[in-house]
Structure 1
C-alpha cells in the first residue's frame, strides 16, 4: 500500500471541509488512517518574540475555539478518524514534527495560491512542502464567488 497514514493539516476556515473531503476519500480508497491537525500560530512566534502583555487567556480562547471547530469538521466527514490534534507553534514546523512523530506517509494541505512568490501553492503549503518528511498533496481551494 502506497499510503498507510495520512496527515490532514487544516486551518479550520470554511474551505477546510473541501480539503478534508478529498483526504477522507483518498483514505477510504486506500484503506489508510486519517490524522487531522490544526496548528494555532503562537502569538509570540507570529510577532517575532516577546509580546508585552499576558496572552494566556487569548491563547486559551484560540485553543477552545479550534477544538470546537475541529469537532464540527469531524462530524462532517464520513470516515473514521484515527486521531485529531490541536497544537500551537510555528505552522510548518509543527506539521513537520507531527508528521515525523506519527510516521505519516502523506501530508495533505489546502492551497489558496494567492500570495506573491508562493503564488503556485500559497505560503503555508509551500512551507509544508519544503522540509516535509514525506509526500505532500496540495489541494486547490477557492472561495465561492
Structure 2
C-alpha cells in the first residue's frame, strides 16, 4: 500500500487520469498526495528568474488538480499538497521531489507521439523510470486519433 504518492501535473487531460489512478490505488485515508508542477527554465535565464506567466499557469494547474483530487478521492487522502518547482529539466525535479518527500510511488500519465519516425513518450518518462527511488506507475493516455467512437 502506498502512503506517499507524487503525481506530476501539466494541465493536460492525462492529469485527471493519473489522479483517478492514484485514488483507485489508495483505499484508506492514510495516503498523502503531492501534486507537482515543474516550470522548466531555459538556459538563457537564471534558474531563480521570475517567470510570471509560467508561474501563474502552474499555480492555476495545481489549483485545478488539487480541486479535482479532493472531489474524486472522497476521504482517501490524509493530506493533499501542491508544489510548484522551477528547474532546468522537469524529470530531474520530479525525481528530486520524490526523494525529498520519501514518496512510495510516482503516478503519472503520458502520451505517445511520433518524433523523427520513432514512437516516443518524450524524455521525462525514461528518466523517471531509470532514476526514481520508488515505484513508478504510468498510464498511457490514448490520443484522440486512437480512441474509437
Q: Give the TM-score category using the shorter length.
A: 0.7 to 0.9
Q: Are residues 115 and 134 of structure 1, via their aligned partners in 2, closer, same or farther at CA, if it must alter by over 3 Å?
A: farther
Q: Which runs of 4+ in 1 moved over 4 A?
A: 115-118
Q: Could you tell me which runs of 5 or more consecutive residues in structure 2 were left unpaired when the two chains were aligned.
A: none
Structure with greater helix percent:
1
SS class of match (1:82): strand
TM-score, structure 1 as length reference = 0.79
In structure 2, the partner of 1:47 is: none
Q: Could you tell me which runs of 5 or more consecutive residues in structure 1 were left unpaired when the two chains were aligned.
A: 45-49
The answer to whether the 8 Å contact 1:6/1:106 transfers is yes
Q: Are residues 115 and 10 of structure 1, via their aligned partners in 2, closer, same or farther at CA, if it must alter by over 3 Å?
A: farther
TM-score, structure 2 as length reference = 0.77
CA RMSD of aligned residues (A): 2.5
What are the Cα deviations for residues 76-122 of structure 1, in whole angstroms up to 9, with x where unaligned?
22234421101111111100110000000101111212255984654
Pairs aligned (count): 135
Q: Are residues 62 and 100 of structure 1, via their aligned partners in 2, closer, same or farther at CA, if it must alter by over 3 Å?
A: same
Structure with greater strand percent:
2
The answer to whether the 8 Å contact 1:115/1:123 transfers is no
Q: Within 5 A, what are the aligned runs for 1:1-145?
A: 2-28=1-27, 31-44=30-43, 50=44, 56=49, 59-77=51-69, 78-79=72-73, 80=77, 81-89=79-87, 90-116=89-115, 119=119, 121-145=121-145
